[in-house]
Structures are given as C-alpha cells and as structure tokens.
C-alpha cells in the first residue's frame, strides 16, 4: 500500500511537471494617443499670439518687440508642427475634445488681426507695410502647416469636418495678409 501511495504521488508530480506550462496571456496593449502633445502646442501657440497681440497694441513705431514676438510665434508654430507630425494619431474623442481649444485659438487670431489692422496707419507712417505683410505671410504659412499636421492626426471620419472648420481660420489669416498687401497698405 505504501508503494502504491508513493507511486501515485510520484506519478502525480511527474504529470504536473510534464504538462505544458500555460502561456501567460498579456492584456492588449493600449494604443497611446497623443492628445497631450496637441493641447500643449495649441497652448504654446495661444500664448505666443497673446504676446504678439500685446506687442501690436503697444506698437507706436518701434518695431523691435513686434519683430521679436512675430519671430517667437513662427518658431513655436514650426516646432509645434514638427512635434505633432512626430506624434501618434488622435482618437475621435480626442479630436472632438480639441474644439474648445480651437475656438479659443480662432478668437485670439481674430483679435490679433483686428488689432493689427487698427495699427495700419502707424505701420504706414513708419514705412513698415512690406515687412508686416511678410511676417503675416510667414505666420500664415506656418499656421496652415500646423493645422494640416493636426488634421492629419485626426481620424479620417473627422478630417473633413476639421478641414471645414479650418477654413474660417485660413480666412482670418488671409484677411490679415490682405490688409497689409501692396495697394492696401502704403508706406508714407
């Protein structure tokens, strides 16, 4: 009987070690979305627009601060575009959550253009029309690239809507450029 018990225990132990080990199943890997990158870039762009708008409102003929703030905005737009292009795709929920940030950005852009147009007479007196137009065109070009990079990260189903919303933003940029184009802004 003792032998039977010993054989039974040994057989059970051998069977346990001989049985294939169950493979541990890992939970599915979550796809990381990069909403944080996009919101960070939008926040940086918003802050740079506010700084440039402050410089526009303070402008009385010394273009140093305007040029510095415009260059800062261009730099942020370019680095933001690069960061977003290197980021991962957005989910539909992420894309929809950007709408309030984009609306705020649109409002800041509208205010900047409005304030800049209000300073056109000072710009004309200081023979600064061409430079301002060049800065607006550079900002507009870089802003379009940023918007296109963000749209490219949105799901295909949201891209058409985002492109339609971007048209208002593009119109604001075009308005600023048009206001300082040759024939609309004349150096004194």
- The helix/strand/coil state of 180 is coil
- Is position 184 within any domain? no
- Residues 134-143 have pLDDT tens digits of 999 999 999 9
- Is position 188 within any domain? no
Straight-line distance from the first to the last Cα atom of the chain, in angstroms, rounded to the nearest whole number:
117
Write the DSSP assignment of 59-102 as a string of letters. -SS--HHHHHHHHHHHHHHHHHHHHHHTSPPPPHHHHHHTHHHH
- Is position 19 within any domain? no
- Is position 29 within any domain? no
Stated length of the chain: 188
- Is position 165 within any domain? yes
**Of the candidates 175, 151, 141, the residue with the CA atom closest to the CA atom of residue 38:** 151
- Is position 8 within any domain? no
Q: How many domains is the chain partitioned into structurally?
A: 1
Number of H helices, E strands in the chain: 8, 0
- Is position 1 within any domain? no
- Is position 27 within any domain? no
Q: Note down the domain range covering 107.
A: 35-179
Q: Which range is least confidently modeled, 4-18, 28-42, 49-63?
A: 4-18
- Residues 62-84 have pLDDT tens digits of 999 999 999 999 999 999 999 99
**What are the φ and ψ backbone dihedral angles of 176, each rounded to 5 degrees?**
-65, -45
Q: What is the pTM of this model?
A: 0.81
């Amino acid at each position: 009987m003792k032998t039977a018990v010993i054989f039974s225990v040994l057989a059970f132990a051998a069977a346990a070690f001989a049985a294939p080990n169950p493979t541990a199943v890992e939970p599915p890997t979550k796809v990381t979305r990069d909403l944080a990158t996009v919101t960070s870039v939008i926040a940086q762009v918003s802050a740079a627009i506010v700084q440039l708008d402050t410089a526009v409102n303070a402008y009385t003929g010394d273009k140093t601060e305007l040029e510095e703030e415009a260059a800062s905005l261009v730099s942020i737009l370019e680095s933001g575009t690069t960061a977003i292009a290197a980021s991962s795709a957005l989910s539909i929920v992420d894309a929809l959550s950007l709408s309030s940030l984009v609306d705020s950005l649109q409002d800041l852009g509208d205010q900047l253009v409005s304030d800049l147009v209000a300073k056109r007479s000072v710009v004309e007196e200081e023979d600064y029309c061409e430079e301002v137009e060049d800065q607006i065109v550079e900002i507009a070009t870089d802003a379009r690239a940023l918007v296109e990079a963000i749209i490219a990260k949105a799901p295909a189903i949201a891209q058409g809507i985002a492109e339609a919303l971007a048209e208002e933003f593009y119109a604001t940029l075009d308005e600023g450029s048009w206001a300082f184009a040759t024939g609309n802004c004349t150096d004194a």
